[in-house]
Amino acid sequence: MDSAEIPTMDLSKATDAASFNQISNTMEGLYRLGKNSKLEKGLATSEKVSKDGKTYTYTLRKSKWSDGSELTAKDFVYSWRRTVNPKTASQYSYLFSGIKNADAIVAGKKPVNSLGIKAVGKYKLVVTLERRISYFDKLMGFAVFFPQSEKAVNKYGSKYGTASKYMLYNGPFKHVGWTGSNLSWKMVKNPYYWDKKDVKLDTIKWSVQKTPSTAYNLYQSNKLDATALDSSQTKQLKNQKGYTELNQGATFYLQFNIAKNKYLANANIRKALSLAVNRKGLTTTLGGNNQPANTLTPTQLTSVNGEDYTKLIPSSAETLYPSSPNKKEAVKYMNKGLKELGVSKFSFRILSDDTDAGNKTTEALQSNFESTFGSKVSVSVQNLPFKTRLSRSTAGNFDIVVSGWSADFADPISFLDLFTSTNSENNGKWKNSTYDKLVADSKTTSSASKRWSDLSKAETILLKDAGISPLYYDTNVWMIRPSVKGVIQNRGTWNFKDAYIK
């Protein structure tokens, strides 16, 4: 089951976990993510890297699309070019930064066909980088770098990726029955998948369940084999067989609309709101094994010299995000901000999903803010279907939005890139030139210690200015039927290739 509907199956336009869960099981790239994020060979049979680390040469296996047509290196070239093409408006085009000419293409300054990727014959792919990228291999397991069929994109036009039938697939499964708006569909075994002999499941049935009690009732009646649990279920079922904790490698946080809301553009107002949040209370309400967050990068994502990366963030940057609210400091910052703005009160709306977790989060935040600031603030909430909330976030149509981000790969840059001034995921439009420079420098330095220093300094700037407000690190709790074996999850993305029922 999933708690949210699918926004798109177009990997050039997808930005969310719901979409990538579907894409990652119906499509495949050079590599797959196995257990503990270990890269496993997908379409690549071999990889050669030049001594300077700037040229990658991949040999591809023979494989086919789900209509039986041949998949070749040209499908990778087409896919990557399509994603960086400004006309596509991909929100993930920034991940191609460092590949030759990618930044210039995204900026509209160079032609798409100048991207540093070429097909040599049918089964050889050569990628040229502008600089050594320490995490390049990790990127190759992420769905944005998968191939696409030019024939399918041209055939379906604007409908491409909007329903199961408007796609071609090359992964272990094909998508069936998703119309673009319905809440149930299937994945069925792909007869043209290159490794179909090792795919044991014939069908995976999916349904969207937004109410945990309904989902668990379906689990108990054997109509679901896996379901997420809410706070009360987590406590009740902790010792039951099938109880499974899944670290999402994710942080939920508040984005403030700095570009369109003059009150939230004030740093003291943002700091006041951050100090008023009861993070411990929120995680208790939400359940699972979620932990209060005081950094953007989640804990347990990356280690630096044997220590968790988040230890590099000074405590002075974390004090704005206490586990329990600091109401006295919050009011002090609020009064300072209101004085600077020349007003005595203001109103704002909190936007989130219409899921159980989304409703509980906005309710808790509204209570936190009203109880701390009284008549100084007027707080309303709006909970919308995930697809609608996502489009509003992207359009900047919000005051404060509850956002979540799961690492695309196990590195802090997956989070810190988001809040550079030109990043399409920076929906609130927070800007800081020093932050931008540090993130950029972290990508070009050849020194590992300098890179970690750049990243931690950048994150410190973001946190001290309350550019965003971390809420919690996301660890979901699921009931997964004990008879279901071989399922892998990495940071919120499921891998069913090796799954089977015992």
Task: Summarize the confidence of residues 353-372 as an average pLDDT.
Answer: 96
The Cα 399–Cα 347 span in angstroms is 9
Does 416 reside within a domain? yes
* Residue ending a domain, choose from 153, 188, 207: 153
240: pLDDT strictly greater than 90: yes
Does 183 reside within a domain? no
The structure tokens 């399409």 sit at 424
Return the pLDDT at 410: 86
* Residues 301, 423 within the same domain: yes
Return the pLDDT at 136: 94
288: pLDDT strictly greater than 90: no
DSSP 41-52: ESSEEEEEE-TT
446: pLDDT strictly greater than 90: no
2: pLDDT strictly greater than 80: no
User: For 389-413, how does the pLDDT look when each residue is reduced to its tens digit (9 = 90+)?
Assistant: 999 999 999 999 999 999 888 899 9
Phi-psi region of 68 (alpha: psi -120 to 50; beta: other; left: phi over 0): left
> CATH no. for residue 41?
3.90.76.10
Identify the domain containing residue 472 by its residue range. Answer: 248-476
Return the pLDDT at 396: 97
Q: pTM value?
A: 0.85
The Cα 62–Cα 265 span in angstroms is 54
DSSP 237-290: HTTSTTEEEEEEEEEEEEEE-TTT-TTTTSHHHHHHHHHH--HHHHHHHH-TT-
Does 234 reside within a domain? no
Task: For helices 327-341 and 356-373, give the axis angle rounded to 10 degrees.
Answer: 80
Which tokens sit at 294? 């005081």
Task: Summarize the confidence of residues 286-294 as an average pLDDT.
Answer: 88
Task: For helices 356-373 and 267-276, give the axis angle rounded to 10 degrees.
Answer: 110
3: pLDDT strictly greater than 80: no
Does 82 reside within a domain? yes
User: For 22-54, how does the pLDDT look when each residue is reduced to its tens digit (9 = 90+)?
Assistant: 999 999 999 998 988 889 999 999 999 999 999
> CATH no. for residue 427?
3.10.105.10
* Residues 141, 255 within the same domain: no
Does 211 reside within a domain? no
The structure tokens 């989902």 sit at 215
The Cα 210–Cα 19 span in angstroms is 16
User: For 159-195, how does the pLDDT look when each residue is reduced to its tens digit (9 = 90+)?
Assistant: 999 999 999 999 999 999 999 999 999 999 999 999 9
* Residues 280, 399 within the same domain: yes
Task: Summarize the confidence of residues 354-365 as an average pLDDT.
Answer: 95
Does 80 reside within a domain? yes
Who's near 414: CB < 8 A, 6+ residues apart?
Answer: 405, 407, 408
User: For 298-337, how does the pLDDT look when each residue is reduced to its tens digit (9 = 90+)?
Assistant: 999 999 999 999 999 999 888 999 999 999 999 999 999 9
The Cα 186–Cα 294 span in angstroms is 39
In the chain, the number of structural domains is: 2
Report which of 14, 18, 21, 137 is spatially closest to residue 79, judged by C-alpha positions: 14
Does 92 reside within a domain? yes
Return the pLDDT at 476: 85
SS3 476: strand
* Residue ending a domain, choose from 128, 153, 178: 153
* Residues 296, 442 within the same domain: yes
* Residue ending a domain, choose from 153, 187, 218: 153
Return the pLDDT at 232: 84
The Cα 219–Cα 227 span in angstroms is 7
Mean pLDDT (the chain, rounded): 95
Return the pLDDT at 312: 96
Does 143 reside within a domain? yes
